Amino acid sequence: MSKSFCGLLALVLLAGCQPPAEPFLPEHASIELLIENGRVLDGTGSEAFAADVVVVGDEIVFVGDAAFTDADREERVVRSIDAAGRIVAPGFIDLHSHGDPLETPKLENFLAMGVTTITLGQDGSSPDVLPLSDWMDEVAANGIGTNLAMFIGHGTLRTQSGIGMSGSPPPEDLQRMLDMLDEALDYTFGMSTGLEYNPGLNADTAELRALARVVGDHDRMIMSHMRNEDDDQLEASIAELLEQGEDARVHISHLKSVYGQGSARAEQILGILEDARASGTDISAEIYPYSASYTGIGIVFPVWAKTQEQFDVAKVERRDELAEYLRNRVNQRNGPEATLLGTDPWTGKALADVAHEMEMPFEDVLIDVIGPGGASGAYFVMNDELQTRLLQDPNVGVCSDGSPTGFHPRGHGTFAKIIETYVVDRNVLSLPQAVAKMTSFAAGVLGIEDRGRLEEGLAADIVIFDPQRVRATASYPDPLRLADGFDVVIVNGKVARERGALDEALHGRVLRPE
């Protein structure tokens, strides 16, 4: 017998004495992605643990100690990522976003800050397409960089049903709006309201409650930009939402107290929400981590001068009253220095600077130069201590309230800033708490069951990062800078962005409720 035959015989005999080595995860012929050596934060709020993550198709199929033999690995593992020294977490879910995915489908501002699902149709305003599902189908066909959870806007329903800006709609108009809502809730995650804006601000309690009953019948939710966010109006605004909460789950969009101060005030606000929950109302909220809001300049105009038509009349008939209202309102909101315009030709200038340059009082600039529809701006109206305390509450999540193009750093920085500033620098949230807010909490609010946690069987939306290297680089003067530090962002099992490079293909989906 030759030596080599002896060797082979010995191998065969040896192998025969042991059970044959089972391939790892034999049910999968091919392993598309193996994320190794990282520390997994599963999104539930639990501490991080060492584990590998295996992705097949668009699904997480294994979390634990992956046991591929070298040969098996060679044969079946298509791609592996070494996540040593980094966190592996579920992709973030933005509870309140803006943008038009038909115009800017890549949504890189969101992907760069670890966001894999956004929510649109906010503040009472969804695309004016009937039925809305046609628009959603178009977005899906066109492609989208992140997943999208869609809301039907109450203001849009008002417009489409012919109610527009009128007060109490006649019963047949109201019924038409309720029927349209009923149809849209089959494929959206709920209804949004924008009660500080036209046409939503014209709705009364009876209308809002009738809408809430339809939302509740579908087991969906109401996302509300409340009627008034001023500190002295906050209780009344929340009370109005809580009435709707008797019939449906309710949620406060971008919770804030405009010119309120201090953590004690935050405790009061949180106490109202806690009491409501204790008596059976399902209410939650979210905030963005900046002390300036951002919206149309119409926010400082009175309800009787918000539209161009109303304004044209008021300018002639109630000029002094309008000027006084604007002077008081802007001063109450920390003055014209705290109003940073974001629309050309004034982009980057404070209202005070424009007034100074034009040598006129700022209220005259608002009336004679800008008007209620003439600009958007950032308004430095929030107190950091108060907002930070709100953010720490376990029933308060995170939103960007931003878009790919909005002139406010929140659209490019929010989710990075939560980690950089609130977790690493200031230590007011732990990393597991922060990630839970941005993942499982958000999924729970929206009623999304297959995302928001890093677990076997869930959709593979995953972000890999070192918290120490996460940076929100967007600023008020330079708000469109992409965030740094989210090294790998995976959407539906595909690497969508890696070390700053965006994949050509778009991997998001237009989600439908279960």
| Site residues for Zn ion per CB under 5 A | 123, 225
Q: How many CB atoms lie within 10 A of CB 411?
A: 26
Closest separation between CB of residue 511 and Zn ion, Å? 21
Nearer to Zn ion, 285 or 322 (CB): 285
Nearer to Zn ion, 383 or 403 (CB): 403
- Reported residue count of the chain is 514
Closest separation between CB of residue 291 and Zn ion, Å? 16
Which residue's CB comes closest to Zn ion? Answer: 225
Give dist(CA 414, CA 419) in Å, integer.
Answer: 9
Nearer to Zn ion, 123 or 461 (CB): 123
Cis amide linkage into residue 394, ω under 30° from 0: no
Alpha helices in 286-409 (DSSP H): 308-317, 319-332, 351-358, 362-364, 384-392
Q: For residue 31, what is the DSSP state? A: B
Nearer to Zn ion, 123 or 240 (CB): 123
Nearer to Zn ion, 225 or 437 (CB): 225
DSSP string, 453-482: S--TTSB--EEEE-GGG-B----SSSTTPP
Nearer to Zn ion, 289 or 493 (CB): 289
Both tokens of 423, joined, read 């977790």
Per the rule left: phi > 0, alpha: psi between -120 and 50, beta: everything else, 493 is: left
Q: Where are the beta strands (DSSP E) in 16-82?
A: 33-40, 49-56, 59-64, 80-82
Closest separation between CB of residue 226 and Zn ion, Å? 9
Nearer to Zn ion, 153 or 493 (CB): 153
Nearer to Zn ion, 225 or 451 (CB): 225
- Inter-residue contact 237 to 229 (CB < 8 Å): yes
Nearer to Zn ion, 123 or 207 (CB): 123
- Inter-residue contact 34 to 78 (CB < 8 Å): no
Closest separation between CB of residue 253 and Zn ion, Å? 5
Closest separation between CB of residue 254 and Zn ion, Å? 6
- Inter-residue contact 400 to 307 (CB < 8 Å): no
3-state secondary structure of 41: coil
- Inter-residue contact 309 to 298 (CB < 8 Å): no
Q: What is the 3-state secondary structure (H, E, C) of 106-168?
A: CCHHHHCCCEEEEEECCCCCCCCCCCHHHHHHHHHHHCCCCEEEECEEHHHHHHHCCCCCCCC
3-state secondary structure of 440: helix
- Inter-residue contact 124 to 195 (CB < 8 Å): yes
Closest separation between CB of residue 98 and Zn ion, Å? 9
Nearer to Zn ion, 189 or 362 (CB): 189
Closest separation between CB of residue 304 and Zn ion, Å? 21
Closest separation between CB of residue 293 and Zn ion, Å? 8
105 phi and psi angles, rounded to 5 deg: -75, -20
Nearer to Zn ion, 123 or 420 (CB): 123
